[in-house]
Amino acid sequence: MLVCTNREQQLLEFLDSDKIVQRGPVTFITGNKVLFKSNTVAKRRIDVGLKTFFAESLGAGIIPRRSFGIAVVDQVMIHNEVNLSILSQTVNSGIVFPWFLPQGFSAFFMGMADYEREVKRQDEFRERREKMKEEWKEEKIAWKALREEIKAENEAKMAEFNEALESIPEAAKQFVQPPALREIPAKPEEPIYPELPKVVGVQDRFYKPQNSLVWKVLRRFEYLEVKGTNLGLMRKREQELTFTIENLASLSTGEISQDDFYAFVNKNNIDGISSHEMKQSFSDYSALELFASIDFSMNELMFSEETEESFILPPLAPIKPMHAASMLAGGIGEYYREVNLNGEKVAIKAAIVKEPTTRVTVINGRETKEVIEQQTQKLGVYNLDRREFRLLG
């Protein structure tokens, strides 16, 4: 399980719940010194082998992909687009967080509800228009049938009249009146259809909705509130949603019971092998000082330029110790900071060292390998009083 927090005590209380089954070490990331050294964290470090890291964010390649089953994070982690992207790639099942509805979610849901109402109203008007059109078509069919009927009836009357007229003397024909014919009614006119109400499109209603936090969160996760708690769960979807109006309109938040929530967490709290590959990241000045105060593994790499018999060449520094120490003390390199470490004055310094690299070139289909040396910077600790150099490697 990955825990990334700077201030949310309830997340640490969640870890201590007897409903949580721990299946291995907990990886803890924070940029808060007090929280990093707190009794709660120290206790869990002993109980479950807590791995601790000091960093302000999840960036700088700290977390390998698909390395954790469950992550427990602050609210701010969900607001941060970079962190959200990293979490979606590194967490296989879900993210636990202090429940809240991010800014813009409510406005988005209200806007989409208005959009759906406008679409529904337009559909109702469209149905009404179609109904009027169908009624007009039926009226035209009935009119055509009536017209043929009247024409046939009038023709029959006139035929009968003409036949009778032939048997009448010529002198009397001028006094005979033709039969009254039925008048054909006017052809039904097409009705005036009601104008369709306007619908404000999604792209016009929201500026680039595919770039919004709402879409970026809910395309990847179901956003659920844990009933009866102050916690939320972002449950990862089996497959990310593609951007369509239908999928956009289907987005919403939901609820999950406590029993289902803890069952889900315990079932999916399985870390990948890559979770053990995480290495401490020195993301700022305070991280260096803090890490040096709690981890003394670098002492094994110590050597002194005064006692050449005890030289132990550190890894990644294939140069003479006095040269390395001189570089650290002399100001070569881009990074330099003096700190107090265990009551002694030391310099955290970047040193330029040489590293062998194998370069492969292909000429005319033939592969050639050659070893070249490259200049690179490595971080080290130089004791200004004892003139001792320790490489952080």
* DSSP assignments along 214-244, one per residue: HHHHHTTEEEEEETTSSEEEEEEPSSPPP--
Quick check: is 287 in a domain?
Answer: no
Same domain, 93 and 115: no
Same domain, 87 and 233: yes
Same domain, 228 and 84: yes
Same domain, 90 and 111: no
Predicted confidence at residue 307, as pLDDT, reads 46
| Distance between CA atoms of residues 298 and 315, nearest Å | 11
Same domain, 116 and 184: yes
Residue that is last in its domain, among 223, 250, 277: 277
Q: Which of 311, 88, 314 is nearest to 217 (CA)?
A: 88
Sequence-separated (6 or more) residues with CB below 8 Å from residue 308 = 321
Q: Tell me the longest C-alpha to C-alpha distance in the chain.
A: 157
Q: Which domain holds residue 305?
A: 296-391
Same domain, 154 and 175: yes
Quick check: is 267 in a domain?
Answer: yes
Give the burial class of 205: count Cβ atoms within 10 A of its Cβ; 0-12 exposed, 13-18 middle, 19 or more buried: middle
Quick check: is 188 in a domain?
Answer: yes
Return the beta strands (E) in the chain as ranges.
2-4, 27-30, 51-54, 68-73, 91-98, 221-226, 231-236, 253-256, 302-304, 336-341, 344-363, 366-383, 388-391
Partner residues linked to 176 by β-bridges: none
Quick check: is 282 in a domain?
Answer: no
Predicted confidence at residue 353, as pLDDT, reads 65
Quick check: is 133 in a domain?
Answer: yes
Predicted confidence at residue 179, as pLDDT, reads 85
Predicted confidence at residue 366, as pLDDT, reads 78
| Distance between CA atoms of residues 143 and 341, nearest Å | 102
Number of domains in the chain: 3
158: amino acid identity, one letter: M
Quick check: is 79 in a domain?
Answer: yes
Same domain, 188 and 239: no
CA atoms within 13 A on the CB side of 173: 10
Give the burial class of 216: count Cβ atoms within 10 A of its Cβ; 0-12 exposed, 13-18 middle, 19 or more buried: middle
Same domain, 160 and 303: no
First-last CA distance in the chain: 27
Same domain, 305 and 171: no
Same domain, 230 and 82: yes
CATH number for the domain including 29? 3.40.50
Residue that is last in its domain, among 172, 197, 222: 197
Same domain, 227 and 255: yes
Predicted confidence at residue 386, as pLDDT, reads 73
Quick check: is 290 in a domain?
Answer: no
Which letter, b or e, does each residue of 95-110 get, where b requires 16 or more Cβ atoms within 10 Å of its Cβ?
Answer: bbbbbeeeeebeebee
| pLDDT digits (tens), the chain, 393 positions | 888 888 767 777 787 778 887 777 788 888 777 777 766 665 665 566 677 777 766 765 667 777 889 999 888 787 777 778 888 888 889 999 988 887 778 778 888 888 888 888 988 999 999 999 999 999 999 999 999 999 999 899 888 888 888 888 877 777 788 888 889 899 999 989 888 888 777 777 777 777 777 888 888 888 899 998 889 999 998 888 888 888 887 888 889 999 999 999 999 988 887 777 776 655 555 666 666 665 555 454 444 444 444 444 344 344 455 555 555 544 444 566 777 777 778 877 766 666 677 777 777 777 777 777 766 667 777 777 777 777 665
Predicted confidence at residue 16, as pLDDT, reads 75
Quick check: is 268 in a domain?
Answer: yes
Give the burial class of 53: count Cβ atoms within 10 A of its Cβ; 0-12 exposed, 13-18 middle, 19 or more buried: buried
